[in-house]
Structure 1
Amino acid sequence: MQKNMTVKELPDTERPYEKCLMYGAEALTDAELISVIIRTGSRGERCVDLAHRILNAGPDGLLNLLQLDVKQLTKIHGIGNVKAVQLKCVGELAKRIASTRRRQQVVLESPESIASYYMERMRHKAQEILMLAMFDSKSMLISEKVISVGTSNAALISAREIYRTALQEQAVYIVILHNHPSGNPEPSREDIQVTRKIKQSGEILDILLMDHIIIGDNRYFSFREQDILFEKGRE
């Protein structure tokens, strides 16, 4: 592409909207896909060039749509509130589409399937969040809820809130998940102690805690896989 040409002056095969109509969205580059969403560039700049600057605004390319908030996006010249909200909504849609596809593959007995389902939603968070996943007697995922949002290094875990929610949803089994913003999913001593207390509380109510999964950066730690829900020595 010649930078001195406007989008309208480009041949159809190089104009993102027309290129999508001719060849399908899969033929577009990341920058071209973004340019179709934002539609216009800044003064004297094509939308594709603005899209390239969005991709270069952080170290992670397309993940900038998830990791940068509206305030950070609007610091990019040419991005106002409307474009920033559009980009954030596109990022959220991408997460939900991926999550919807994985939901059908969630298996209570497979920590990997549960971790995969929640990975993209949780691994980008700057704060720890605690998620409760609830399952019925047939081990089907029936509901989920964010129980708490903590600081950058600690989630506020409330057994009372966990089981109150589980009872409302008539859950038989539960899995709790939280993320480590550091990217390292290895549990702390406190993580292990709190998990055992939550498990004991559930046994009284006849609601079984089946796993505690810690989400890292494309990695996870499963208490069930590591067989430490009952193990005393790891504390």
Structure 2
Amino acid sequence: MNQPNTMKEMPEAERPYEKCEKMGAEKLTDVELLAVLLRTGSRGENAVSLARRILYGAEDKGILGLHQFSLERLRKIKGIGRVKAVQISCILELARRLSKASYSEMLSFSQPETIARYYMEDLRHEKQEVMKLLMLNSKARLIGETNISKGTVNSSLITPRELFIEALQKDAVSIVLMHNHPSGDPTPSREDMLTTKRILDAGALIGIELLDHIIIGNNCYISFREEGIL
């Protein structure tokens, strides 16, 4: 049986727009949701087929794989031009911001879980390790954040001097370190432990406390504070 070339050629019960109107967006599959947002397919291929090929192409990672697609990579997919690539990129960014905003009002730097949830979507899809420095005032409120390294977190490459210059410029009273493990497993490595100890010791000398070091995995995290390492 030939694949319908357009959404209108599909049986009405299978059309994502009609299905959404009758049953609600929560009843749509990942493929159907993406098809609605794409609106149209390509020559000889409807939007549902195109969405399925994007989500379950060569890497077959489904919806989670979308976070790894850059604009350039999207445009290399047959049927995805400039407009559709921008649409998908904006959808992903909107999803990230919605996820982050939902935790913003609950963010407490005395609770590692809320910090991890707040930054989860920023970090868990990164292909390289990214270390963030979070700077806090005397009331443990966030007054600044910056990326201090990208690549393997190596204690010899992250210098406490540069890190604390940044913290002092913000008048930070305390700091939190955070980085991701692209493998998805947040278990601390030897380098993670060495880096934490160097920064902890340096902070003690200049009066800026290291409150925690949080490692982000795939929808999971480890807090040095919760684990009793700090």
Classify the TM-score, shorter chain: 0.7 to 0.9
How many Å apart are 1:12 and its aligned residue?
A: 6.3
Checking the alignment, whether the CA contact within 8 Å between 1:106 and 1:141 is kept in structure 2 is: no
Report the equivalent of 1:41: 41
Gaps of 5+ in 1: 230-235
After superposition, the Cα gap between the structure-2 partners of 1:35 and 1:88, relative to the gap in structure 1 and judged at 3 Å, is same
How many Å apart are 1:27 and its aligned residue?
A: 4.2
**Higher mean C-alpha displacement, 108-117 vs 67-76:** 67-76
Q: Are 1:8 and 2:8 counterparts?
A: yes
Aligned residues: 228
How many Å apart are 1:52 and its aligned residue?
A: 1.1
**Higher mean C-alpha displacement, 183-192 vs 90-99:** 183-192
Deviations 1:57-86 (A, max 9, x none): 233211121023334333322122432232
Checking the alignment, whether the CA contact within 8 Å between 2:124 and 2:217 is kept in structure 1 is: yes
After superposition, the Cα gap between the structure-2 partners of 1:98 and 1:118, relative to the gap in structure 1 and judged at 3 Å, is same
Instruction: Give the secondary structure class of the aligned counterpart of 1:178.
Output: strand
Checking the alignment, whether the CA contact within 8 Å between 1:16 and 1:33 is kept in structure 2 is: yes
Instruction: Give the secondary structure class of the aligned counterpart of 1:224.
Output: coil
Instruction: Give the secondary structure class of the aligned counterpart of 2:168.
Output: helix
Report the equivalent of 1:176: 177
One-letter code of the match for 1:50?
Answer: L
Alignment map for 1:1-235 (pairs within 5 Å): 3-4=3-4, 6-10=6-10, 14-17=14-17, 19-20=19-20, 24-57=24-57, 58-151=59-152, 154=154, 156-229=157-230
CA distance in 2, matches of 1:67, 1:176: 24
Instruction: Give the secondary structure class of the aligned counterpart of 1:225.
Output: coil
Checking the alignment, whether the CA contact within 8 Å between 2:6 and 2:47 is kept in structure 1 is: no
Gaps of 5+ in 2: none
Deviations 1:124-161 (A, max 9, x none): 1111111112222222233322122125x758423233
Runs of 4+ in 1 over 6 A off after TM superposition: none
CA distance in 2, matches of 1:219, 1:27: 27
Deviations 1:30-55 (A, max 9, x none): 22221232222110111111011111
CA distance in 2, matches of 1:15, 1:194: 54
How many Å apart are 1:21 and its aligned residue?
A: 5.5
Report the equivalent of 1:233: none
CA distance in 1, matches of 2:37, 2:169: 40
Checking the alignment, whether the CA contact within 8 Å between 2:4 and 2:46 is kept in structure 1 is: no
**Higher mean C-alpha displacement, 187-196 vs 207-216:** 187-196
When normalised by structure 1's length, the TM-score is 0.84
Deviations 1:93-127 (A, max 9, x none): 21111011112222222222212222222121111
After superposition, the Cα gap between the structure-2 partners of 1:36 and 1:158, relative to the gap in structure 1 and judged at 3 Å, is farther
Checking the alignment, whether the CA contact within 8 Å between 1:54 and 1:64 is kept in structure 2 is: no
Cα RMSD of the aligned pairs, angstroms, is: 2.6
Instruction: Give the secondary structure class of the aligned counterpart of 1:186.
Output: coil
